[in-house]
């Protein structure tokens, strides 16, 4: 009798719990949220300027494959923030000004997962790829900048995710993104250099295409 009760209980639990099969499966993911760029120090021709931006937006898409504890991803993303103030030759300009910072990137990410597939998971990872950074800075003095450059980019990632059902996961992700040594040309034709470095907090929604069927 006890065996019959135990078997009945196990069967009821298995029917009530969706079979989460992320491993050995492809997935797609959409990310969107807020981004904060660090101040961009612009140097060149013996002068310097600093571009400070407001909080902006960051969004992207991912195609990935889940190997188990490790995931491999191809990611495309875009982030942009409007100028808050621009300092040229020691003079700070604020107000309703055009300009800002933006970056378009294509990355390959490696992610490590911690936790059960059918519950709350944490993950950490990073990525490398190519980023096209753009700086738009305008002021009454000095030469304006409206140029972009493509360079090597890297990022660090961390977050959590939780399955809403057997196919869909919702999560929160932090992204540190960096492009160094952007070579730009200002309106006077002078070469200048800067970097774009940002911090993003993103909401994520992933769809898993399923893997091997869960064991009975």
Q: Answer whether 42's CB lies under 8 Å from 192's CB.
A: yes
Q: Partners of 29 in the beta sheet?
A: 62, 206
Q: Answer whether 121's CB lies under 8 Å from 22's CB.
A: no
Q: What are the residue ranges in the chain where pLDDT is below 70?
A: 1-22, 45-47, 211-216
Q: Give the C-alpha separation, 178 to 129, whole Å.
A: 11
Q: Residue 1 has what pLDDT?
A: 40
**Tens digit of pLDDT for each residue in 152-193?**
999 999 999 999 998 999 999 999 999 999 999 998 888 999
Q: Residue 168 has what pLDDT?
A: 96
**Tens digit of pLDDT for each residue in 64-73?**
999 989 999 9
Q: Which domains can be identified in the chain, with CATH numbers?
A: 23-208 (2.40.160.20)
User: N- to C-terminal Cα distance for the chain?
Assistant: 22
Coil, helix or strand at residue 7: helix
Q: Residue 16 has what pLDDT?
A: 37
């Amino acid at each position: 009798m006890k065996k019959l009760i135990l078997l009945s209980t196990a069967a009821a639990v298995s029917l009530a719990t969706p079979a989460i099969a992320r491993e050995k499966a492809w997935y797609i993911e959409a990310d969107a949220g807020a981004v904060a760029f660090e101040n961009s120090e612009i140097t060149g021709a013996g002068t310097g300027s600093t571009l400070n931006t407001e909080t902006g937006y960051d969004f992207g898409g991912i195609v990935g494959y889940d190997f188990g504890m490790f995931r491999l991803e191809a990611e495309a993303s875009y982030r942009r923030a409007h100028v808050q103030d621009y300092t040229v030759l020691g003079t700070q300009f604020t107000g309703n000004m055009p300009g800002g910072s933006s970056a378009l990137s294509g990355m390959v990410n490696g992610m490590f997962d911690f936790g059960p597939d059918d519950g709350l998971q944490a993950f950490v990872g990073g990525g490398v790829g190519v980023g096209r950074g753009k700086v738009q800075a305008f002021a009454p003095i000095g030469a304006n900048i409206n140029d972009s450059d493509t360079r090597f980019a890297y990022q660090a990632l961390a977050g959590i995710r939780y399955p809403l059902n057997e196919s869909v996961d919702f999560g929160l992700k932090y992204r540190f993104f960096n492009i160094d040594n952007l070579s730009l040309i200002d309106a006077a034709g002078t070469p200048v250099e800067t970097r774009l470095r940002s911090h993003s907090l993103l909401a994520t929604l992933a769809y898993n295409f399923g893997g091997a069927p869960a064991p009975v």
